[in-house]
Amino acid sequence: MVTMKDVGREAGVSAMTVSNVLRGNDNVAPETAKRVREAADKLHYRLNTTSLSARSLRVSTSRKGKEFGTIGLAIFELDQPYPSQLASLVSIEAEKRGYQTVVQQTRINELNERSIIERMSNQFCDGLL
């Protein structure tokens, strides 16, 4: 598995610079950011969005100025009793802690699961279950 260190080595920068670029921080020179993105593409590196979401939940950085945070729940099927009850219970517990829940159905499809994980945890939600 390719790491941020690998991308940094390829781009000639530190792993922290790679992290800053790939998370969208604008404190990196445009030329350096371009090198990092090119190295990441060349090595087929993708951010571990699950850990970023977990960190966001832990430190509540994405909730500043919001009344509620958002947790994504990717569940295999919603038309069966157990998964729908599970989604309901997760939603209730999340609300008790100041979060709203967005539920997506994966339908036990790997491509669908990957898409949901990437989109929900990277752009939309503070965390993903």
Same domain, 53 and 109: yes
Residue 12 has pLDDT above 80, yes or no: yes
Same domain, 38 and 57: no
For residue 83, give its domain range: 49-128
CATH of the domain at 59: 3.40.50.2300
Same domain, 16 and 39: yes
Contacts of 116 (CB under 8 A, 6+ apart): 72, 74, 104, 106
Same domain, 58 and 93: yes
* Helical packing angle, 30-43 and 4-11, nearest 10°: 120
Of 24-28, 32-36, 50-54, the one with minimum mean pLDDT is: 50-54
Same domain, 55 and 116: yes
Residue 22 has pLDDT above 50, yes or no: yes
Q: How many domains does the chain have?
A: 2
Cβ count within 10 A of residue 60: 12
Residue corresponding to tokens 């991308």: 7
Residue 28 has pLDDT above 50, yes or no: yes
Each residue of 64-99: pLDDT tens digit? Answer: 445 568 888 999 898 989 999 999 999 999 999 888
CATH of the domain at 10: 1.10.260.40
